[in-house]
Amino acid sequence: MNVNFWGAVNTAEAFQSQLLEHKSRLIVIGSDCADYPLPGFAIYSASKAALQSWATALRLEVGKYGVTVVTFQPGSFPLQSRLLFGLTKQFAGMKAKLEQKNLAEFYGSTLEQFSKHFSSLFNEVTPPIAPLDNDCLRKALLSVLEDDMSKTPVYIYESAGQAIFHMMISTLPRWISDALILKVLNSPKWKREENKIK
């Protein structure tokens, strides 16, 4: 929350006089997790949902002053994002916090399974910052930066696969969409015998 939500709010507040003076454009980086929360990413999803709601309300508040607020959802490009690298260290920090609160036994091996699964997909070394190797996404970003966005305050970029996945989990019965999400994420199953608090 401190980065995804309050970071954006505090930055906008720091530059509010310049935004108003120059009738500027404020671009907020959203996420499809705001609309489709994922297990294991509860806090991240919540932070992006809060950010999206704030940006929507802010757009209506400052639009009369000539300030444009655009929420850009760039879709998923995990191999080029720095978000999911170095996960072993992040999971170790999460486990330490759970142990401090005596919750490690409740979660059992679930956290360990999450750690092994996602850490196996991404490098432990954070890659250097580099231009996106995605022409379509680059064009979408340029559109958000330069085009008239007054009629498209939320710009969603998604691959065909993402679009199909989002359509399915939006229209299927909840129990089916939940099972689909868990299947796609290969989410570890909870073991009841391990998840007990004494």
Predicted confidence (pLDDT) per residue in 87-99, tens digit: 777 778 877 887 7
Q: Is the pLDDT of residue 9 over 90?
A: yes
Cα-based torsion angle of the residue sequence 103, 31, 3, 105 in order, rounded to the nearest 10 degrees: 10
User: What average pLDDT score do residues 25-42 get?
Assistant: 88
Tell me phi and psi for residue 28, to 5 degrees: -105, 130
DSSP 65: G
For the chain, the structural domain boundaries read 1-77+134-158, 78-131+160-198
Residue 197 above 50 pLDDT?
no
Residue 72 CB-density burial (10 A; 0-12 exposed, 13-18 middle, 19+ buried): buried
Cite the DSSP H helix spans in the chain.
6-14, 16-21, 42-62, 87-100, 104-107, 110-119, 135-146, 160-171, 174-185
Question: What does the mean pLDDT of the chain come to?
Answer: 82
Q: How confident is the model at residue 165 (pLDDT cuts 50, 70, 90)?
A: confident
177 vs 135: CA distance, rounded Å: 31
Instruction: Say how many C-beta atoms besides its own lie within 10 A of residue 108's C-beta.
Output: 17
Query: 1-77+134-158 maps to which CATH number?
Result: 3.40.50.720
Identify the CA nearest to 189 among candidates 107, 132, 86, 120.
Answer: 107
Per-residue pLDDT, averaged over 109-127, amounts to 71
pLDDT score for 122: 65
Global pTM value? 0.78
Residue with tokens 């970071």: 7
> Is the distance from CB of 70 to CB of 142 less than 8 angstroms?
no
